Amino acid sequence: MIAAYAPASVSNVACGFDVLGFALEAPGDVVSVAPADGPGVRSLIVRGDDGRLPTDPARNTAGAAVIALLERLETTRGVALTVHKGLPLASGVGSSAASAVAAVVAVNELFGRPASLEVLLECAMAGERAACGAAHPDNVAPALYGGFVLARAAAPPDIVRLPVPAHLACAVLHPHMEIETGAARALLGDAVPLGAAIKQWANLGGLVAGLFTADLGLIARSLVDHVVEPRRAALVPGFRAVQQAALGAGALGCSLSGSGPSIFALCDALPSAQRVGEAMRTVFAAESRALAADLWTCEVGREGARIITGLAASVPR
Ligand code: HSE
């Protein structure tokens, strides 16, 4: 029996829609794998999802990712998978990506690591696509590699790992509601005004440069989304007030995490992330009319998916 952990991730990061993401340290998902008689994914159990996720391997993001990996490895070996969900569904922190990534990392370890990270990325994305209908590398890539990742292209993968300034930390507020990514993408249309596009790619360049030079001022100025956030902001009750609270409490920037409803704030260090997170939580409680929320604070997760000893009890939360 082998188990792998893959962390939650913040995708888009304000100005990098579909191409930029970073990993959290926790929470995350764990997938355990054991050899099984016969070829393919012989069984799949999901724990921690209240029975909501499919257990047909072809329709489950972890199962479909492993099917893709087994095909890629041209193996007739079989596996039994157990997915331990530490992440809430449709929460905007890469829940399906974490399951897919943990699954392929665990199976690759069981087989003696025949696949490269690039192959694991492709298989995790294939799993997401098979199970969810679409896949974006901006959650899978940071969940697999850790840190900040620019997915310059997905097929074939062209993944650029970016430096993470010392102590960079984040607060993530997770309102207890769900947003389907497909519905949030349907709001976006397919046209971007040139003026907004210019501001957006200027900010993406600024953010990448700020990460390379550890220039927190440049990072802060660049953490503005002129394209996607304006079209999604109304999906999350109190989003603008929470964003203002985060910036007022000293966050470098604050925006939707992925397609929401989670809201992230990047901060210069963990103590400020904790202060910013509390400000976000307080304002959200006042604005959201009794909707509960989780608050996670941590440094940016420099380590991505990894093999762990122990099972669900060891899921970092
Ligand atoms: N980049 C994606 C989006 C992330 O915002 O729609 C969700 O998979």
Residues 184 and 202 in one domain: yes
259 lines ligand 1 (CB under 6 A): yes
pLDDT band at 312 (very low <50, low <70, confident <90, very high): very low
Options 128, 213, 278, 282, the catalytic residue? 128
- Name the residue at shortest CA distance from atom 7 of ligand 1: 258
Tell me what pLDDT residue 311 has.
57
Atom of ligand 1 nearest to the CA of 17: 1
The CATH number given to whatever domain includes residue 125 is 3.30.230.10
- Name the residue at shortest CA distance from atom 6 of ligand 1: 259
For the chain, what is the domain count? 2
Q: Are 157 and 151 in contact (CB under 8 A)?
A: yes
In a domain, 317, yes or no: no
Mean pLDDT of 23-44: 96
Q: What is the 3-state secondary structure (H, E, C) of 247-278?
A: HHCCCCEEEECCCCCCEEEEECCHHHHHHHHH
pLDDT band at 289 (very low <50, low <70, confident <90, very high): confident
State the distance from the centre of ligand 1 to the C-alpha of 295, rounded, in angstroms. 21
Residues 28 and 52 in one domain: yes
* Tokens representing residue 103 in the block: 């699954």
159 DSSP 8-state letter? E
Tell me what pLDDT residue 313 has.
41
Mean pLDDT of 193-214: 98
181 lines ligand 1 (CB under 6 A): yes
Best mutation site among 9, 18, 101, 263 for ligand 1, i.e. most ligand atoms within 8 A of its Cβ?
18
pLDDT band at 147 (very low <50, low <70, confident <90, very high): very high
**Range of the structural domain that residue 44 is part of:** 2-162+301-312
Residues 129 and 185 in one domain: no
Residues 124 and 227 in one domain: no
pLDDT above 50 for 316: no
pLDDT band at 155 (very low <50, low <70, confident <90, very high): confident
Atom of ligand 1 nearest to the CA of 134: 8
Residues 181 and 88 in one domain: no
pLDDT tens digits for 246-269? 999 999 999 999 999 999 999 999
Q: Is 251 exposed, middle or buried (0-12, 13-18, 19+ CB in 10 A)?
A: buried
Tell me what pLDDT residue 133 has.
82
pLDDT tens digits for 88-132? 999 999 999 999 999 999 999 999 999 999 999 999 999 888 877
Q: What percent of the chain clears pLDDT 70, i.e. is strictly above it?
A: 97
